[in-house]
Amino acid sequence: MKRTLVAAILGLSAVASSFGQGHITFNNYTTLPYNQIVWNPSGGYLPGTAVVDGTVQVQLFYGEGVIVNQNLLTAGVTMSINPAVTYNPGDGYGGGGYVFSAIQTLGTWAANDIFTFQLRAVVGSGPGGNVGPSFSTLWQEQTQIAASSGPANTMATFPGLFVNAIPEPSSVALIGLGLGSLLMARRRK
């Protein structure tokens, strides 16, 4: 009787712990479209080119349901740019801009749930720690999320990410010195 009771309790706890667990793979290289992670085209460090520096890190944020406020998302896995993948899909950014694959576990998932995702560049990563606040648009996944008991599927609709670079303090100082010397030269005339 005791063995049956213990087995029943263990069986219920195993079912309860496995219920509500899903997972999904983030990888922007294995399936179309190959949306690269790119330096912001409007200026900064290597504008409009794919990020190929392995020190740049991005983090996946997620939340259950259709969420429109990025502040309501939960921080997930962090990934680094994979400098070994240099494929150029022909979008004008050059080769690279892909991350190492990572699996995100979704603890509250149940079949047919929709989750909202966002990719953010980790501030302070990158060459010289020059990555500033950078966010992808929000996107949803539903059919690609799989139960944790099976293999994880790859996200289908990642929209891409533009990474903002912060100029190094020495660059700002040099610009200031140059402007100062121009003002001094103009004053003398």
Cβ partners under 8 Å of residue 79, min gap 6: 26, 57, 58, 59, 60, 99, 100, 101, 102
**Contact in structure between 138 and 160 (CB atoms under 8 Å):** no
**Largest separation between any pair of C-alpha atoms in the chain:** 103
pTM of the model: 0.77
pLDDT tens for the chain, residues 1 to 189: 656 654 555 554 444 444 569 999 998 888 777 889 998 888 777 888 999 988 899 999 999 999 999 999 999 999 999 999 999 998 899 999 999 889 999 999 999 999 999 999 988 888 778 888 899 999 999 999 999 888 888 888 888 888 887 765 555 555 666 767 777 776 766
Q: What is the CA radius of gyration of the chain?
A: 23
